[in-house]
Amino acid sequence: MSQENVEIIRTFFEAYNREDFEAALNDAAPDFVLDFSRSLGPYQGVYRLDQVRGLFSEINETFDSVRFEANDFFDAAEYVVVPVTTHFRGRDGIEVHARVTHLWTIRDGAVASVALYQELREALDAAGLRE
């Protein structure tokens, strides 16, 4: 597994979890795309780099806390599949946990895209991997 790619992803999650969105996007390519078109939630859509900071701020303003937890890493050359548990706590203290999978595309040390999948199998297939 490309340790460099995994470190890029870990750094993203650490920065996002402390709400340092500039640091989270430090390794994003200029043409970075966040593809939430498969989302079942209110943020469904495709976001370009200039839109992502606002999206992150909006998500974190909606909830008392948001925390991403990477559960594993599956490497496939320029792709890394990451099953993720997102922990949300609402303003009234209600906690929700959402399990999804991210497909990260990393080219030349920069994050080209992150796509959200509802099922691990779908993300693995998209990356050319099998469970």
> Domains (ranges, CATH) in the chain?
3-126 (3.10.450.50)
Res 80: pLDDT: 97
12-21 pLDDT per residue, tens: 999 999 999 9
Q: Looking at beta carbons, which pairs linking 44-48 to residues 24 or more positions away fall under 8 Å? A: none
Taking the whole predicted model, whether its pTM rises above 0.85 is answered as yes
Return d(Cα 93, Cα 86) in angstroms, integer: 16
Closest by CA to 33, choosing from 108, 106, 130, 94, is 106
What are the CA-CA distances from residue 45 to residues 8, 51, 61, 79 (Å)?
24, 11, 19, 21
Average pLDDT of the residues of the chain: 94
18-66 pLDDT per residue, tens: 999 999 999 999 999 999 999 998 899 999 999 999 999 999 999 999 9
Return d(Cα 105, Cα 25) in angstroms, integer: 14
